[in-house]
Structure 1
Amino acid sequence: MKKLLMLIMAAVMILAGCGTEAQPEKKESEKTAQEQKTGFPVTVKDALDQEVVIEEKPEKIISLIPSNTEIVYALDSGDAIVGVTDFDNYPEDVMAKEKVGGMEFNIEKMIFLKPDLVLAPGSTADTAKEGLQQLKDAGIAVVVVNDAQSFEEVYRSIEMIGQAIGETDKADELIENMKNSFAELKKKAEAIKPEEQKTVFVEVSPAPEIYTAGKSTFINEMLELIGAKNAAGDMDGWAKVDPEAIVERNPDVIVTTYGYYTENAADQVLARQGWNNVKAVKDQRVYDVHSDLVTRSGPRLAEGAEELAKAIYPDVFK
């Protein structure tokens, strides 16, 4: 009897052991099912080539540059944003979000907001390195989004953010819509004959320190797309220009991009001394377009390209 009891106890222990071994397999199975359902956890390779693991779909997001904020909203996830910069102004809903700083960020406030994810700009990643590390040390996932300077790089930003917030399908759709909009503008531009192409000077900051958009900028890419010549196409990036050099280049059209922040931007250009013989000024072809549409690396770039096109070629882009 004693021997039988020992055999039964041994069998129970073996079964219990089997149950213990089987339990992790069940949990692993449940985990796999959860991943298939939500897409999380995900590993995002950010602009610094760092692999950032995001365990669950972020419910609280802080965006540290307006372009990233606009992308999150365009992916129908604006409700998840709990903090933005002082410079964020679109969409209107963003004005009610907590502000976490401008040129410098309030790290303590960001940690207090308890975000699941911080979207940081690649353009300031070096200068903000210490602060971003504080966020990481607090257990917050930080994804540094690439500093986009072309349409293709913007698409990459959208893809990265879409992956990080679990909206890859919407990201793909947004990119496709942007590409289609650009394609439509390009098709319309085919009606412009080479001899009809306008030389355009784009002024992104007013006198006395005038800056323009050279090559390797969105604006240059837009001008090429719509069949216009960039008067500063031989310059690189956002370049400072001497007023006399602009007069010598004698553009057909001048476009300012700061009227949203400065009143009567076009009138200021028309009234400049020594510019009365510039073709754009003589022909009264000085226009202002919204800065955020043509310089912000977000989903509204296609809208900005269209606004540029309508200003330069009103008869073609109606």
Structure 2
Amino acid sequence: MKKLKLVALTLAMLTVVGLAGCTQQTPTNEATQTQTLPKKDRAGKDIHLSEKTTKIVSLAPSMTQVITDIGREADLVGVDMQSADADATLKKLPQFDMMAIDAEQLIALEPQVVYVTDINMASSESVWNQVEEAGIPIVTIPTSTTIGDIALDVQFIADSLDEHDKGKELVDTMNQEIATIREIGKTIQEKKKVLFEISALPDIYSFGQGTFLNEMLEVIGAENVLAGENGWLPVTEEAAIASNPDVILTSVDYIENPVEEVLARQNWANVTAIQNQAVYEIDTDTSSVPNHHITKALKQMAKAVYPEAYQDVTND
């Protein structure tokens, strides 16, 4: 959905300018071994969580989906607008603009925990001061840039709600699916060069190293044409053409037919991907929201770039 795409792009740009640069820390061994509630959030900040949490606010789809998937949807008392757009069952809940949180509305819900990410924390500092002064725990989960950190985020959310086993099940399934793709990816001898567009002309946006999508391309055995760059980045049309990708992937969802848009571009006729009509659409939500659902996008990417190698992989 376009709103979710815009949020993903905003997160990307915040990462570029450093707002997403919070230090990410692995949950403590104590939390995972004894299954006690975590004492620090994913930003390394001390937190004090309720033993029985029944009133939750989640302010990003990546976190809301985990909370829902571990069976705690009924405990949500407020969500961001994008989460509600993605899940019709959440539309009845109070909703928040991710980039402009209403402190009074949030405090009035009397949540026992509020899950936030970079884009939320970029709101006015006074908002979060008010929430903290009201005695409401704020749990920060910075935007993860690696598959490994995404897995840790999922497990952390589950642990923080005393649902360790359910979180482990999600993470184990995610890791198993990735391992299956990775093993096939290792057998790829002739790596295809891929350009992955998350925003189309006239403002192409993509990514280089230091992003989970770049890592996903590596897992399937492909080469990102922008691997020499870092982070999420704008790409000029000239640079995109010069990179001459073998395959173009697009997760653009705000134009009617993003594949046809790419194939019909002027000046792109000599690009290998255009000549071979090797342009494929990848699900926006699962490729832009960093949680265990990225495996759906990973499978789509694998089957698009190397259909024969991954023909036996089911994308359910």
Normalised TM-score (structure 1): 0.82
82-91 or 139-148, which deviates more:
82-91
Asked whether 1:105 is paired with 2:98, we answer no
Tell me, yes or no, if the aligned pair for 2:247 and 2:279 is still in contact at 8 Å: yes
Question: How far 1:56 sits from its partner (Å)?
Answer: 2.6
Tell me, yes or no, if the aligned pair for 1:46 and 1:52 is still in contact at 8 Å: yes
From 196, 200, 205, the equivalent of 2:194 is 200
1:42/1:197 Cα in 2 relative to 1: closer, same or farther (>3 Å)? Answer: closer
Tell me, yes or no, if the aligned pair for 1:40 and 1:54 is still in contact at 8 Å: no
Write out aligned runs for 1:1-318 (5 A). 42-88=37-83, 89-193=85-189, 196-259=190-253, 261-318=254-311
Tell me, yes or no, if the aligned pair for 1:117 and 1:142 is still in contact at 8 Å: yes
Which letter maps to 1:255? L
1:82-122 CA distances to partner (integer Å, 9 max, x unpaired)? 21111224344233332122321122111122211100114
Which letter maps to 2:67? V
1:205-241 CA distances to partner (integer Å, 9 max, x unpaired)? 0111111121111110000000001011111111111
Tell me, yes or no, if the aligned pair for 2:99 and 2:123 is still in contact at 8 Å: no
Aligned to 1:12: none
Which letter maps to 2:70? L
**Runs of at least 4 residues of structure 1 off by over 6 A?**
none
The higher radius of gyration belongs to 1
Distance across 1 between alignment mates of 2:215 and 2:250: 17
Q: Gaps spanning 5+ residues in structure 2: where? A: 1-33, 312-316
Quote the RMSD (CA, aligned, Å): 1.8
| Structure ranking higher on relative contact order (CA contacts 8 Å, 6+ apart) | 2
Distance across 1 between alignment mates of 2:144 and 2:219: 18
Question: How far 1:190 sits from its partner (Å)?
Answer: 3.4
Distance across 2 between alignment mates of 1:130 and 1:45: 22
Q: How many residues align?
A: 277
Tell me, yes or no, if the aligned pair for 1:44 and 1:163 is still in contact at 8 Å: no
3-state SS, counterpart of residue 54 of structure 1: coil
Aligned to 2:26: none
3-state SS, counterpart of residue 266 of structure 1: helix
1:94/1:314 Cα in 2 relative to 1: closer, same or farther (>3 Å)? Answer: farther
1:226/1:41 Cα in 2 relative to 1: closer, same or farther (>3 Å)? Answer: closer
Question: How far 1:123 sits from its partner (Å)?
Answer: 4.6
Distance across 2 between alignment mates of 1:149 and 1:40: 26
3-state SS, counterpart of residue 79 of structure 1: helix
Which letter maps to 2:63? N
Tell me, yes or no, if the aligned pair for 1:231 and 1:251 is still in contact at 8 Å: yes
Question: How far 1:78 sits from its partner (Å)?
Answer: 1.4
1:54-82 CA distances to partner (integer Å, 9 max, x unpaired)? 13321011111110111111222111112
Which letter maps to 2:81? D
Tell me, yes or no, if the aligned pair for 1:41 and 1:55 is still in contact at 8 Å: no
Distance across 1 between alignment mates of 2:222 and 2:192: 5
Aligned to 2:31: none
Which letter maps to 1:241? V
Which letter maps to 1:286? V
3-state SS, counterpart of residue 115 of structure 2: strand
